[in-house]
């Protein structure tokens, strides 16, 4: 047992809530579940035991895995699963993240996507590992609800997926609240520190979330989540 490494073929859902999400949505990838020796039996635990029994997923009691993987957290259940990746859906709205570099941010954006009904995520390399334990935790399990693929470049992505592209950039002219999003769309966001390269101004319709001069930019997770909210609110919710 060693610390999680992005080259591993498996990753881990830390805690009961994440483990349940994993079992519910990705049972075919579940390898085993670890229980801590001090775990107290409650409804959630019984549910996990039942799901594991029915699906022949071993439950292993071991405290060592908790010391290695979860460090300081109050974590008594860990779900181990085989990593997965899946083709994006061609007729659906997508989120495209170009070179995301922060694991927690990636997870938070996935949580917002699922919150507003977008289930397809393209990640352009170089990029953080979507199976980093911090990403899984920040997604609150929403990662088990989405389809996602990594691409070597945006052009690799765009060859395959002909959505209406909306790159979000500080240099754009079209304001978010005035943008009429044509479905299926792809909302495209750049790296936390550098944003999207200028050439994205020539791709699709670039959009800006106007803000006061007293900040340089919005936080990436905030910008992406506001854009997702605004682009989905008419057809999905909040009306």
- Token look-up 């590992």 returns 129
Q: Minimum distance between the CB of residue 9 and a second copy, rounded to whole angstroms? A: 27
Q: For residues 116 and 189, which CB has a smaller minimum distance to a second copy in the complex?
A: 116
Site for a second copy (CB under 8 A): which residue of 87, 90, 125, 233? 233
72 part of the interface to a second copy, by CB under 8 A: no
192 part of the interface to a second copy, by CB under 8 A: no
State the Cα–Cα distance between residues 81 and 120, nearest whole angstrom: 20
Site for a second copy (CB under 8 A): which residue of 101, 145, 149, 164? 145
* Number of residues near a second copy (by CB under 8 A): 35
Q: Which DSSP category does 203 fall into?
A: S
State the Cα–Cα distance between residues 111 and 104, nearest whole angstrom: 11
For 83, the 3-state DSSP assignment is: coil
Q: Which stretch binds a second copy (CB under 8 A): 62-70, 127-135, 171-179, 190-198?
A: 171-179
108 part of the interface to a second copy, by CB under 8 A: yes
HEC letters along 30-79: EEEEEECCCCCCCHHHHHHHHHHHHCCCCEEECCHHHHHHCCCCCCCEEE
Q: Minimum distance between the CB of residue 159 and a second copy, rounded to whole angstroms? A: 30
């Amino acid at each position: 047992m060693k610390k999680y490494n992005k080259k591993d073929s498996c990753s881990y859902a830390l805690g009961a809530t994440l483990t349940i999400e994993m079992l519910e949505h990705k049972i075919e990838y579940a390898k085993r579940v670890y229980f801590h020796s001090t775990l107290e039996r409650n409804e959630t635990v019984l549910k996990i035991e039942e799901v594991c029994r029915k699906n022949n997923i071993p439950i292993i009691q071991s405290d060592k895995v908790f010391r290695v993987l979860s460090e300081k957290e109050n974590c008594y259940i860990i779900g181990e699963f085989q990593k997965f990746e899946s083709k994006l859906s061609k007729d659906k709205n997508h989120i495209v993240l170009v070179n995301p570099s922060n694991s927690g941010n990636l997870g938070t954006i996935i949580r917002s996507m699922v919150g507003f009904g977008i289930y397809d995520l393209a990640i352009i390399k170089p990029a953080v590992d979507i199976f980093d334990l911090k990403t899984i935790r920040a997604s609150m399990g929403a990662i088990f609800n989405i389809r996602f693929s990594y691409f070597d470049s945006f052009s690799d992505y765009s060859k395959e997926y002909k959505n209406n592209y909306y790159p979000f950039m500080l240099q754009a002219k079209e304001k978010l609240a005035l943008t009429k999003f044509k479905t299926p769309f792809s909302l495209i966001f750049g790296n936390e520190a550098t944003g999207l390269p200028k050439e994205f101004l020539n791709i699709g319709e670039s959009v800006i979330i106007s803000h006061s001069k007293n900040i340089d930019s919005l936080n990436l997770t905030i910008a992406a989540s506001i854009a997702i909210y605004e682009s989905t609110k008419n057809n999905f919710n909040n009306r």
